[in-house]
């Protein structure tokens, strides 16, 4: 069941211009065939917090703090229930099923090797089953609401990985990180597989529309990781744009807002601001909730598993992505008009 969809699409303007034939009469040439329809692709990358650690309904008194801060209980707050209402199936009521989109899809191969591929809903996290979610959930809802075309999210996220070594981009020098290589391999694999797997994408051309980066914790604990983070981030952006042949690829970076290291978070901001436009830094520190109000009181590195935190992170990343994409679309229309 698709939740209520609100779409915003730029109109297509077709100008039919008469041409002068050899006998001096004006005629209108036949209209060119319609362009192949596209679908929007967004590459999401990072480590365990992009994998997704938000707890959905688990409520064991010892392991999940009686369910405090999980998604089910968060939605009992009237303000959050209204803001998160689209996550529920419209016929499900307060205890009903989670909404499943038919216009947004997620493809993610977890660090355990499990392939999670399907319509966007709860459960595209690093754990088996549907007990957790990550930023992709709200990102996907926002993007699908905004585009007429179908949306595909490719997630390439694996726990405990740093940018300085694991995701090290080629132009940073030294050995290219294995996760950088894997990210690009799985992006290509995911797009090809999704076009075969999902009927809504068949016959459409993939269009990479943005890169969303939510990572950073482990760079605080690798020699040189903090100092090099701005440079590494700039290299990452440049290498991705070169790889995909798009110097204007929108790039969104989420702050590691659950980290107490203010210097590191400042390095993330500085690095993002050095990435040539279009790029955006999303501050997330205000989304951190208290451990005693969260499912995993000892997991500060995972935002304490708090569902509201992950929802807000996804919301911030998704809205920043839409702003950059809207600006890019506007520039494209201006270029078309000039040509």
Q: Does the predicted TM-score (pTM) go above 0.85?
A: yes
Among 3.40.50.1110, 3.40.640.10, 3.40.50.720, 3.90.1310.10, what is the CATH number of 19-338? 3.40.50.1110
List the domain boundaries for the chain.
19-338
Over its length of 339 residues, how does the chain's per-residue pLDDT go in tens digits? 444 333 333 332 222 223 333 333 444 455 455 578 999 999 999 999 999 999 999 999 999 999 999 999 999 999 999 999 999 987 544 445 899 999 999 999 999 999 999 999 999 999 999 999 999 999 999 999 999 999 999 999 999 999 999 999 999 999 999 999 999 999 999 999 999 999 999 999 999 999 999 999 999 999 999 999 999 999 999 999 999 999 999 999 999 999 999 999 999 999 999 999 999 999 999 999 999 999 999 999 999 999 999 999 999 999 999 999 999 876 665 555 555
Determine phi and psi for 108, rounding to 5 degrees: -150, 125
Residue owning tokens 């494209």: 332
Tokens of 251: 């790039």
Where do runs of H (alpha helix) occur along the chain?
A: 48-51, 71-74, 78-83, 136-146, 178-197, 225-243, 262-274, 307-338
Output b/e per residue, 183-214; b: 16+ Cβ within 10 A.
bbebbeebbebbbeebebbeebebebbbbbbb
Q: For residue 10, is the peptide bond before it cis, meaning its omega torsion is within 30 degrees of 0?
A: no
């Amino acid at each position: 069941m698709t939740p209520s969809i609100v779409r915003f699409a730029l109109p297509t303007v077709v100008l039919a211009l008469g041409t002068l034939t050899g006998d001096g009469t004006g005629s209108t040439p036949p209209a060119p065939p319609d362009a192949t329809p596209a679908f929007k692709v967004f590459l999401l990358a990072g480590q365990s917090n992009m994998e997704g650690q938000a707890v959905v309904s688990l409520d064991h008194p010892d392991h999940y703090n009686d369910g405090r801060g999980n998604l089910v209980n968060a939605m009992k707050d009237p303000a959050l229930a209204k803001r998160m209402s689209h996550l529920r199936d419209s016929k499900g009521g307060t205890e009903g099923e989670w909404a499943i989109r038919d216009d947004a899809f997620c493809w993610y191969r977890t660090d355990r090797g499990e392939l999670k591929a399907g319509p966007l809903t709860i459960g595209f996290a690093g754990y088996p089953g549907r007990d957790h979610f990550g930023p992709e959930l709200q990102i996907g809802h926002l993007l699908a609401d905004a585009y007429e075309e179908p949306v595909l999210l490719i997630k390439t996220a694996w726990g405990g990985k740093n940018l300085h070594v694991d995701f090290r981009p080629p132009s940073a020098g030294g050995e290219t990180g294995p996760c950088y290589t894997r990210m690009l391999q799985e992006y290509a694999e995911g797009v090809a597989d999704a076009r075969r797997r999902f009927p809504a994408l068949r016959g459409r051309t993939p269009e990479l529309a943005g890169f969303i980066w939510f990572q950073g914790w482990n760079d605080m604990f690798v020699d040189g990781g903090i100092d090099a983070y701005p440079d590494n981030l700039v290299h990452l952006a440049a290498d991705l744009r070169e790889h995909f042949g798009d110097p204007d690829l929108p790039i969104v970076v989420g702050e590691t807002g659950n980290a107490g290291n203010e210097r590191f978070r400042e390095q993330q901001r500085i690095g993002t601001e050095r990435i040539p436009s279009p790029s955006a830094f999303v501050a997330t520190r205000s989304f951190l909730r208290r451990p005693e109000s969260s499912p995993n009181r000892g997991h500060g590195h995972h935002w304490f598993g708090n569902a509201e935190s992950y929802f807000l992170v996804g919301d911030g990343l998704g809205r920043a992505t839409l702003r950059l994409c809207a600006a890019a679309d506007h520039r494209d229309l201006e270029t078309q008009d000039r040509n």
